[in-house]
Structure formats: structure tokens, C-alpha cells
Amino acid sequence: MSDDLLARLKSYEGCPAAVARTGKDPVNAPMIRHWCEALGDTNPAYTGPDAVAPPTMLQVWTMGGLTGHDTRTQAYDELLALLDESGCTSVVATDCEQEYVRPLRPGDEITFDTVIESVSARKTTKLGTGHFVTTRTELRVGPDLVGIHRFRILKYAPARRPEKKPPRPRPVVNRDNAGFWKGVEQHKLLIQRCTACATLRFPWLPGCASCGAPDWDTVEATGEGTVYSYVVMHHPPFPAFDPPYAVALIELAEGVRMISNVIGTPYEKVRIGMPVRLEFQSYDDELVLPVFRVAEEAAV
């Protein structure tokens, strides 16, 4: 950053940011009550006929709400515009400091003035590089100073971060399907089989839908199958996936069907009736999923 730019930023120190403003509401009991309820503060000093406002509410009485206050001073607007021009287009509030001169009571009418107290040299943070701007607001009731509020923001140029693809979502493993996922870890596609009527079932269930028997064993699928149906996912986008991609309902040679991805083939070339072959794909050190590849490609 040039010394000239820093000098221009520093020239705004001491300039007003707000002049002779009036709080939109006088100090009042309902706002004190809402504040205390939100923070769980049961101090008796904040209730009753002699109540005072919690000191930490100091900034509350100067806030403009959703409609805001009158336009800021030209000096403050110029400072922010200069920071924008230097590439510091983002802003985040970083901290505040408050000094309490006397308690505020319901009925007090607040007036305040704000000055630009300091503008830092360019600093490097995890968010990016930029300048800390500190304003100092003096609050009064009539001619009496009741508090001082310093508020600090960082106007910064966002740091460029390498995009890191989030991990693929994990399957939900429960006591009914744990055996299936244990087989997947061993690169086996296991299908439940009712020991009473020999009906195969997928997905895994706690009991047979054909005869109601609770007992079962498993058979290992050969991995041969065909695309019974499919959809192409375009929206909504999800960070762990790269749309568009095909999600297929695969009919296994054993007669049951399962949902999976068809890999190695462009989504627009997936077709119903296409023969596919099972593979196990590792997505990271912990996650392995059964997927399917077009049979001709799997044989190559």
C-alpha cells in the first residue's frame, strides 16, 4: 500500500461521522425487559420504579433500527468510498469498548455525536488484508455525558482461499442395515434372504415383507445388473457433488433393485436397459460406496 493512500486515510481521523443525533426512542422499560430476558439477566436493579438500564445496553439507544438514521456525514462516506476504491470492499465488525459515566433511566432522551477516531495501517488477517476503522460515540442526556462507545470495523479485501470440496455425505447406519455396510467395507454387496421363504429383499429390513418371518441370512450379489430407470440431477446443486450426474435404479441379476450412481459414462448416454457391473469406489479414507459402470467399460 502506498504511503499516499495511508496519508489520505489518516486525514479523516478526527472528522465527524455523526453530528447531534437523537436516539429514536428514550430509554424505556420494555426494551430493558426484552434485553434482560434475552440475556437471562435477573438483576433486580433493572426492574421496578427505580430501575436503571443495564450499562451494556449503551449502544442500543443509538441504533437506527431497520430504517436507519439520517445520512452519515460526508467525511465518513468519503472514507468508506476510499477504502472501497483500494479494494477493501468487505466489512466486518470486530469489537467495541464502552465507558459508563452514569446509569441511564427510563425517560432519558439520548443525543450523541460520533467521530472517526483512528484508521489503521493495512493489516493482514485470516479474512484478508484491510484497515481497522474505529469510531468514538459520546452519549449525552441534556448537557451531561453519560457514556462513550468505541466501535471498530475491518474494511478488507477478501483473501482468496483454495476451494476445498466438502466430503461426500455419510450413509445413515443403523442396527437394521449395519450388516450391509459391513459387507461394503469388505467389497461385498450382500442381499438379505428370508430363511423361511427364501425371498430376497433390498433395502435391508428387520422382517420379511412376503411372509413376515424375522429371521434371515445373506447372499452375495454377483454384481451384474441393468439400468431399470434413472434421473439426471441438475438442481439443487450440492457442494459434495458435481451436477449434472445420473442417479440410477439398478436391477440386479438376483431380481432386487437398488439406487446407485453410474460412473464412467456421460450422464446423457445413460439408458434404460443398459447392462452395468458393480464396482466399489473409495471417496476418502473412510467412505466406500457401491457404484456401477457400464458392462463394456468394466470389461476393458
pLDDT for the residue numbered 297: 60
Let me know the angle formed at the C-alpha of 165 by 173 and 276, rounded to the nearest 5 degrees. 60
pLDDT for the residue numbered 235: 82
Beta bridge partners of residue 217, listed in sequence order: 193
Please report, rounded to a whole number, the percentage of residues in the chain having pLDDT higher than 70. Answer: 96
* Residue 273 domain-assigned (yes or no): yes
Q: Helix %, strand %, coil % for the chain, to 5?
A: 20, 35, 45
Same domain as 150, residue 7: yes
* Residue 87 domain-assigned (yes or no): yes
pLDDT for the residue numbered 160: 81
Round the CA-based radius of gyration of the chain to a whole number and report it: 33
Q: What is the average pLDDT across 253-275? A: 95
Total domains in the chain come to 3
pLDDT for the residue numbered 300: 44
pLDDT at 298 over 90: no
* Residue 165 domain-assigned (yes or no): no
pLDDT at 163 over 80: no
> 208 is in which domain, residue-wise?
170-220
Same domain as 174, residue 75: no
Round to whole Å and give the CA distance between 279 and 24: 67
* Residue 185 domain-assigned (yes or no): yes
Using the Cα atoms of residue 220, residue 221, residue 223 and residue 227 in order, give the sign of their dihedral: negative
Query: φ, ψ for residue 113 (rounded to 5)?
Result: -130, 145
Same domain as 51, residue 72: yes
* Residue 252 domain-assigned (yes or no): yes
Q: What is the average pLDDT across 267-281? A: 96
Confidence of residue 78 (pLDDT cuts 50, 70, 90): very high
